[in-house]
A and B are shown apart, each in its own frame.
Chain A
């Protein structure tokens, strides 16, 4: 498992210490700073930034914008006591997520995982699906352990599978999958996605009529549980 490094910028001692301890217990490596001055020097090798807004000196909005300029690919999660919609909208112009205090550490950790997965850091190199399918994300290959053979997926089929793996255990609507894979708005009633899902099931499931890997959630969408 890759080491996940987090930069925490929080001026409140009690909160900073608590978040650092809890995240370290969950296996993250946490570097905690009390202010955002000169923070660009600390961004190297960081996978996620957790940033408070009300900081001494430079505020979180300014620090976040500087960080985004210095390292655009590193996701930023704003952690703030400012709950007004305007603050959230301002923050989300550069940040990838916004959590208001008082938060639950479980929720914070779940959101960090989502950010890591989105940026490609949080996913393991290999993922087992059901009893027999092994997906090698680094090599972009799929292996069926029952037959001992690789599973040949088309480009779109693999992209759809990867979309599910980036959002494990999450129900995705057809619109969300379409936007993620085709990068264009979904047109109601389009059957193309259903056809791709059927083909994927025929290649991955032991019984495509009773799917275990790609579940249908009636009226809502699909889900892959890991």
Chain B
């Protein structure tokens, strides 16, 4: 909607009034003294000229004043609405050193507000950066003692121990692995949400990527006694514009979940639907509703979902007591 300018309207009325005024005065003077005396006529002309000059000067001064006032207000409005470089916060406007009028004071108040906003944003960024650095350092600093701990546990394993002792050492080993994975997830999530996790999408042969990922997980499933049904065609494929490292991580997380939480079913099915461009991963575990002994905070899955979303992909889980099916595709119907 077009906005109406108060000052423009004011100026129009003001100027019209002031332009008509001298004409009216001239007409009045001529009407009051219609004498044909030349000296009287000269006096009348002089008075009229003087009045006209005063009014013209007044009009000019007023015009300049209002024009400049309007210009400054327009500048202030523009400064308030245009975001600054690299931030949504506007840039401050130039301030006068002295002789500040109401408009200058308004500008100064605006600048003060901008400064406060910037300080607050800067503090927020510093705190965020400090928090992320702290997580990265913590992740690093905890790994070294954990490694030493694993070393000691490994030495103890060689000592003669009771059954309980061996079980405790195995539990310690699992706990170290779990803490390490949690730290990995925490670091990854922090980097991901900060936009600092390297992302290089490129056209990728998806069946080839899935096959390669399954090949590296195959021995783990074999060792866990799983029946593996990999239905991956050699002569057909499809391409997605994704980061292969990200997708490998997502698939790794899904496979690890099957190994950890669906080992009762001892089955994993991996298939692709070439026509619909989908990955399908199935297990015969107790379903996602069941609390697995190995269940954590689910951060790995959160990261996977985040990564898939960032790559423009959807994931759908359907789960019951007979098992879980995961579908990944560009567009999935929720059936």
Contact = CB atoms under 8 A, between A and B. Distances in A.
B327 interface: no
Interface stretch (B26-34, B140-148, B252-260): B140-148
B266 interface: no
A101 B143 contact: yes
A218 B196 CA distance: 39
A171 B228 CA distance: 14
A171 B216 CA distance: 7
Interface stretch (A11-19, A42-50, A118-126, A153-161): A11-19
Given A14-B151, A15-B144, A84-B187, A171 B218 contact: yes
Interface in B162-186: 176-177, 180, 183-184
A84, A104, A174, A176, most chain B CB atoms within 10 A: A84
A221 B207 CA distance: 13
A45 B191 CA distance: 41
A173 B297 CA distance: 34
Given A81-B144, A83-B183, A171-B219, 20 more contacts: A14-B148, A15-B144, A15-B147, A81-B141, A83-B140, A86-B196, A100-B180, A101-B143, A101-B147, A102-B143, A102-B180, A105-B154, A175-B212, A188-B236, A188-B237, A217-B215, A219-B214, A219-B231, A221-B211, A221-B215
Contact of A85 (B152, B198, B215): B198
B146 A220 contact: no
| Those 5 A-B pairs whose CB atoms lie nearest each other, nearest first | A18-B151, A219-B230, A81-B143, A14-B148, A102-B147
A171 B143 contact: no
B212 A81 contact: no
What band does the interface of chain A fall in when counting residues whose beta carbon is under 8 Å from B? 35 or more
Nearest to B199: A85
B316 interface: no
A217 B140 contact: no
B149 interface: yes
A172 B215 CA distance: 7
Interface string B197-239: 1100000010110011011101100000000001110111100
Nearest to B188: A85
Interface of B: 136, 139-141, 143-144, 146-152, 154-155, 176-177, 180, 183-184, 187-188, 191, 196-198, 205, 207-208, 211-212, 214-216, 218-219, 230-232, 234-237, 245, 270
A152 interface: no
B208 A173 contact: yes
B143 A218 contact: no
Interface string A87-106: 00100000000001111110
A39 B114 CA distance: 55
Contacts of A171: 215-216, 218-219
Interface string A1-38: 00000000000101101110110000000000000000
A69 interface: no
Interface in A151-186: 169-176
Nearest to B141: A81
A188 B154 CA distance: 46
Contacts of B215: 171-173, 176, 217, 220-221
B246 to A, nearest CB: 10
A85 B218 contact: no
A105 to B, nearest CB: 6
A103 B234 contact: no
A33 B23 CA distance: 104
A14, A22, A85, most chain B CB atoms within 10 A: A85
A189 interface: yes
A224 B231 CA distance: 21
A104 B146 CA distance: 11
B136 A84 contact: yes
B148 A12 contact: yes
